[in-house]
Amino acid sequence: MSDSPAPLADPHLVFDAVEGRRDLVILGSTGSIGTQAIDLVLRNPDRFRVTALSAAGGRVALLAEQARRLRVRTVAVASPDAVPALREALRKEYGAGEQPPEILAGPDAATQLAGSDCHTVLNGITGSIGLAPTLAALKAGRTLALANKESLIVGGPLVKALAAPGQIIPVDSEHAALFQALAAGKRADVRKLVVTASGGPFRGRTRSELADVTREQALNHPTWAMGPVITVNSATLVNKGLEVIEAHLLYDIPFDRIEVVVHPQSYVHSMVEFTDGSTLAQATPPDMGGPIAIGLGWPQRVPDAAPAFDWTKASTWEFFPLDTEAFPSVGLARHVGTLGGTAPAVFNAANEECVDAFLDGRLAFNGIMDTVTAVVEEHGTPATGTSLTVADVLEAEAWARTRAQELSAKATAEARA
């Protein structure tokens, strides 16, 4: 392991670290990660300055407010149809004589911002549409604070081909935890990465007990407040499968040395086991402020970025092995991660379609992973190597989405027959 190249995320080697205030571009500014990042920036104006924001375009009033409070140069929306409403929202936010920001619009607008002049790009976009901005930021030589795990999952070889060692700093709570724990030792001394999972709302249930769970039950996460797709991914533990693939790509650790353990309290965000038997855990109360601050500020820490524990109060921390029969998603993710090529993109795209079908009442909960497994099996062993292109990824995703829709509709029809 010591002779392998430096990993994409390396706490010992931070790409282009600078002192003083950092210029940031925030992609996905109106989402959960984006809004929390902006709150951190506003509380630390001596450390950070935001130069540009991007959003999908569904919350233009919030985007305009963010632009005014941060005094950004440019805002971007993915939907051109949102531009008139955004112009009107900016007009209301900015006073007479004030210069509103430039507006970019279209599916490539966020990608254009990702390559603009700044120190760090925070990619908080949800879904595989974040791949192009990720590649643009890396190609432009920006430090990439990566919250968009899908871009690494679906485009792993493409990202690895562009990223310099240490250029990516992860923002997921689990990978930010691994990142910090890895700082305590040498790569050659790492025995295992341990990724923690809350277990979601259905921890302890058998597969048969999951057959009739409802949308409302799946969205009732016991620990985290997240969007519907991510919350369902937590219920199926697909999110843990994606994080296993991501850990493999970020830290250059083989899949057989990445373990998942269920930790319902979500206090320990992940752990690193070293060859001397020591295990280092990174722990905070459940809050994304800490991982965001690591992504934007490392190697410096941002004071009071997240709450700390009150050690005067008793608490219980539990750990359980993963039930692979009730939750087969992690094993399937290891499989597609080992296959490489376009297999992870197929896994991710099929899952997104199946989650949408479940949320719409068109697919049973267990049908999500049954359908994703069938799509992955039909895809077979993909071509791998350095020849993978963005077009290959998009083609594989399109096929997987269509096939997942077909199979989920078939499964629903058979269940109702």
Of all helices (H) and strands (E), which one includes residue 64? helix 60-70
CB half-sphere exposure, 273, CA atoms < 13 A: 11
Q: Binding site annotation covers 174?
A: yes
Q: Binding site annotation covers 243?
A: yes
Q: What is the pLDDT of residue 221?
A: 78
Q: For the residues 115-126, what does the mean pLDDT come to?
A: 95
Q: Binding site annotation covers 4?
A: no
Q: Binding site annotation covers 221?
A: yes
Q: Binding site annotation covers 88?
A: no
| Three-class secondary structure of residue 220 per DSSP | coil
Q: Binding site annotation covers 234?
A: yes
pTM: 0.92
Q: Binding site annotation covers 172?
A: yes
Q: Binding site annotation covers 208?
A: no
Q: For the residues 300-307, what does the mean pLDDT come to?
A: 94
Q: Binding site annotation covers 227?
A: yes
Q: Binding site annotation covers 351?
A: no
* Spatial separation of the C-alpha atoms in residues 343 and 250, rounded to whole Å: 18
Q: Binding site annotation covers 289?
A: no
The answer to whether 300 and 20 have CB atoms below 8 angstroms apart is: no
* Spatial separation of the C-alpha atoms in residues 392 and 93, rounded to whole Å: 43
Q: For the residues 110-127, what does the mean pLDDT come to?
A: 95
Q: Binding site annotation covers 30?
A: yes
Q: Residue 1: pLDDT above 90?
A: no
H helices of 225-380, where? Answer: 228-236, 238-251, 289-297, 329-339, 343-359, 365-379
Q: Binding site annotation covers 102?
A: no
Q: Binding site annotation covers 44?
A: no
Q: Binding site annotation covers 223?
A: no
Confidence of residue 3 (pLDDT cuts 50, 70, 90): very low
* Spatial separation of the C-alpha atoms in residues 106 and 108, rounded to whole Å: 5
Q: For the residues 223-232, what does the mean pLDDT come to?
A: 78
Q: Binding site annotation covers 266?
A: no
Q: Residue 204: pLDDT above 80?
A: yes
* Spatial separation of the C-alpha atoms in residues 47 and 297, rounded to whole Å: 8
Tell me the two tokens of residue 343: 């297999």
Domains present along the chain, CATH in parentheses: 22-172 (3.40.50.720), 175-416 (1.10.1740.10)
Q: Write the secondary structure of 146-214 as one string of H (helix), E (strand) and C (coil).
A: ECCHHHHHHCHHHHHHHCCCCCEEECCHHHHHHHHHHCCCCHHHEEEEEEEECCHHHCCCCCHHHCCCC
| Three-class secondary structure of residue 282 per DSSP | strand
| pLDDT over 70, % of the chain | 96
